[in-house]
Amino acid sequence: MRPLIGLFLIAVSMALAGSVPIKTLVFSTATSTSYVEMIPQRPMNLTAFTLCMRVATELSGQREIILFAYRTGSYDELNVWRELDGRLSFYMAGDPVLFKVPELAALQTHLCVTWDSTSGLAALFLDGKRSLSKIYRKGHTVRAGGRVILGQDPDSFLGSFDEQQSFVGEICDVNMWDVVLADSVIQGMFAGKREPRGNVFDWESTELRINGDVEVAIREL
């Protein structure tokens, strides 16, 4: 049981590290014009990734909600959705992989999506709790050269937005890695750890370009 003392000290230092101020995005109403572009830190040709965010919405019922969109000229390279029926999904240039999980709601959810090309393993994490794995797009590569936006689903290159698919609510702490992080690492970030920092997107340093009616505020994690 000795190691637990060490764990305790780690935990206390973590807790004492205190509150971290971060930007947060509030989309107050459904629009076909408001969105935030995120500028990646490296080209987005990816054979694996972990994408995390903190998200809350009061939208419910029969409504699609776009959570993350990465589009090149002709393809939805990586789009994350809440589907009409409440399922969560992501699409990489074609049919989606879908997960029947508890619904996003007004209390914030820490959501992560992981995928690896070699095995095809795809999984979600809601508040640190892992979903079943599914096999999806084994051998596929996400292409570089597109644009990433929050708030709208582009049906053409950064355009053709549909208000009925827009995001309404709050979204923040969007981070992305070009590897699949271990379950325990994702659980740690849910619990407040700020390491490792994302190498595709690091919310604390990524450039955000605001368009339309999006409130950018600071809160303390």
The structure tokens listed for 6 are 């060490």
Length of the chain: 221
Using the structure block, give the residue that is written with the tokens 């208000």.
163
The structure tokens listed for 210 are 């605001």
**Cα(199)–Cα(181) distance, integer angstroms:** 12
**Cα(58)–Cα(161) distance, integer angstroms:** 21
**Cα(122)–Cα(49) distance, integer angstroms:** 10
CB of 134 to a second copy, least distance (A): 7
The structure tokens listed for 65 are 């909600």
Residue 210 touches a second copy, criterion: CB under 8 A: no
Question: Of the listed pieces 75-83, 95-103, 145-153, 196-204, which binds a second copy according to CB under 8 A?
Answer: 95-103
Residue 130 touches a second copy, criterion: CB under 8 A: yes
Using the structure block, give the residue that is written with the tokens 């780690």.
10
Instruction: Please select the residue that binds a second copy; options are 73, 94, 107, 205, rule is CB under 8 A.
Output: 107
Question: Any idea what DSSP says for residue 205?
Answer: T
CB of 122 to a second copy, least distance (A): 10
**Closer to a second copy by Cβ: residue 144 or 191:** 191
**Closer to a second copy by Cβ: residue 135 or 144:** 135
Residue 221 touches a second copy, criterion: CB under 8 A: yes
Q: Footprint of a second copy on this chain (CB under 8 A)?
A: 1-20, 24, 26, 28, 56-58, 60, 99-102, 105-108, 119-121, 123, 126-135, 169-170, 180-185, 187-188, 190-193, 215, 217-221
